[in-house]
Structure 1
Amino acid sequence: MRPSTRLLASPTTTPFRPGRRAPALALLPPIPLYRRLLRIHRKKLGTEERVFGDTYLKAEFRRHRDIENPLHIVGFLTEWQQYGQQLEGDDWKEQKIEPALMDKLSDQQIGQMYELMQAIQKRGRDSVDEEEDGPVLRAIEEATKGGSGNS
């Protein structure tokens, strides 16, 4: 039987629909997934974000290296694979955590999220202060050097 042109022209994957998760890809084994995530960090994240992301990624994979429960392994790999898919798109930058997910977090996890939020805000304030102080301090140094040279 000869294949019809209609079958040859049909898409092999289901179309993406807004508001729904992208279709799940086959679950990658841990090491290829780990390498893929590091590559995505290298391509998609800035220097500071990459350092933080790489450090966190490495620590999490080390922490879960000896897990033997298949459900935990599948859940761990699935979440990291979805993280990689989100990073490959650009809509993740403005994304907020869903309330249903927040309800599932333990008190310790919520505390860690709060500490992370504070560290990010502090880092943002420090970098703004450095940007503002930099030109001001340079102007003061130049004025001081210019004033001492004229005396």
Structure 2
Amino acid sequence: MFSSDHVARVRLLYKLIFRVHRALPGELRVLGDNYARDEFKRHKNCNPVEAKIFLTEWTDYAINLAKQTKPLHQAKKKTVGKYLEPEMLEYMNDEQLIQLYELHKAASSDTDDVSNKNEILRKEDSDNR
């Protein structure tokens, strides 16, 4: 269905995304890796129009994340990611909205876990003194 050139580009982008994820904090890296893996599997047999949109969006994601994880950017901003514009929700179907909500829950859960771990470590450290 797709040319070998297309398959090679998809593979290259897939590997690039995982390489860019290496710069993320551990919890975000795992979340990002799992999400990317699932999305690429889910779109493995999509039609050419969807494939073009999919590759464009993931390429933009990889470029933006690479810029945000550069050491100079991190030293200045100390942030990764950007907020989703509310207008984008209007373009999403029900399945995408559910997926976005699940991703939000997972990201919030990971952040809470990190906060809890840090609090426990601080308490243990003060108890040991």
Q: Tell me the TM-score normalised to structure 2 length.
A: 0.71
Distance 2:18 2:86 in 1: 29
The aligned counterpart of 2:61 is 83
C-alpha distance in structure 2 between counterparts of 1:51 and 1:45, whole Å:
9
The 3-state SS of whatever aligns with 2:13 is helix
Amino acid at match of 1:132: E
Structure 1 residues 47 and 127: alpha-carbon distance in aligned structure 2, compared to 1, 3 A threshold: closer
Equivalent residue, structure 1, for 2:20: 40
For 1:131, give the aligned amino acid: N
In structure 2, relative to structure 1, the CA distance for the partners of 1:119 and 1:37 (3 Å cut) is closer
Deviation at 1:102, TM superposition (A): 1.2
Task: Give the equivalent residue in structure 2 for 1:121.
Answer: 108
Cα pair distance change 1:123/1:74, threshold 3 Å: same
Tell me, yes or no, if the aligned pair for 2:18 and 2:33 is still in contact at 8 Å: yes
Mark the CA change 1:94 to 1:41 in structure 2 (over 3 Å): closer, same or farther: closer
Query: In the alignment, does 2:36 pair up with 1:57?
Result: yes
Alignment of 1:83-122 (within 5 A): 83-90=61-68, 93=80, 95-122=82-109
Unaligned runs of 5+ residues in structure 2 are 1-5, 74-78
Highest Rg: 1 or 2? Answer: 1
Residues 58/121 of structure 1: CA separation in 2 closer, same or farther (3 Å cut):
closer
- Moved segments of 4+, more than 3 Å: 137-140
Counterpart of 1:66 in 2: which secondary structure?
coil
Q: Residue 100 of structure 2 aligns to which amino acid in structure 1?
A: M
Higher relative contact order (CA 8 A, sep 6+): 2
Unaligned runs of 5+ in 1: 1-26, 144-151
Q: Percent of aligned pairs with the same residue?
A: 32
The residue identity in structure 2 corresponding to 1:38 is F
Which structure carries more helix by proportion? Answer: 2
Report deviation, 1:94: 5.1
